[in-house]
Amino acid sequence: MSIKLVAIDIDGTLITDKGEITTKVYEAIQKAKAQGVKIVLTTGRPLTGVHSLLDYLQLKDIDDFVITYNGGLLQEVKTGKEIARYSLTYDNYLEIEMWARKLNVHMHAITNDAIYTANRDISRFSVREATLVNMPLKYRTPEEMTSDLEIVKTMYIDETDYLTEIIQKFPAHLKEKYATVRSAPSYFEILNSKASKGNALLVLSKKLNINNEEIMAIGDAENDLSMLKVAGLGVAMENAVTEVKKEADVKTSSNNDNGVAVALEKYVLK
């Protein structure tokens, strides 16, 4: 069965460590599009952090879709129409923020419009995230956060080794209540229990009448595991974490060595 949809992670997969899309990757994606294959970017970033890539890859037509916030939001690119949204309530935020204080870890929450942190000593990882995704970073105490703010996801952010310790201390009942994923060494994300790249991909495939066997997913990090599991063909980057390599059906070269292009040329392009 031929591949009709390719879901591609961004950081560590689509782009190089320098944040660039190589010429070979660009050309392979254009060939796949010309062949009628649906290309869908799937990322932990908000839409503001994806616009330039969608523009460059010409993925802004009326029938193009994007999965952001690690599956917290699935929407049409051109119109912005939301196909699926899995966000957090105000009470969810208060609970997650309270545990951040108990565990003594930096945290921020992300809406469609801004990143909010209650840390007076703002983490450099919050600053880096705001810069990466082109979002304003705002300091607000929990009391100043209003219930009308629709938070799509929260993140505990800190130094790698320290964050590892924090994750081990994160209460089991909260891991059952929320979707949690370590999307990067310094990022531990806490989301709505239904939010995952895999779940959003299933919603999209049903809408487009595409079978799981007709989907290829390419990724490198823990937040990509769910979509590799639902795709008929899961592809791990050479630079992927061990868990992703174990879950994947096949492997490709690294993000710095045209890994996405290699996978497209081998399994998709005719």
Write out the catalytic residue numbers: 9
Distance CA 170, CA 34 (A): 46
- What is the DSSP annotation of 141-191? -TTTS-TT--B-EEEEE--HHHHHHHHHHS-HHHHHHSEEEEEETTEEEEE
Q: Which two tokens stand for residue 170?
A: 């994160």
SS (H, E, C) 13-35: HHCCCCCCCCHHHHHHHHHHHHC
Distance CA 96, CA 26 (A): 39
Of 229, 222, 262, 226, the C-alpha closest to 243 is: 222
Distance CA 47, CA 37 (A): 22
Contact assessment for residue 38 and residue 5, using Cβ atoms and an 8 Å cutoff: yes
Instruction: Establish how many alpha carbons lie within 13 A of residue 132's alpha carbon, considering only the half-sphere containing its beta carbon.
Output: 16
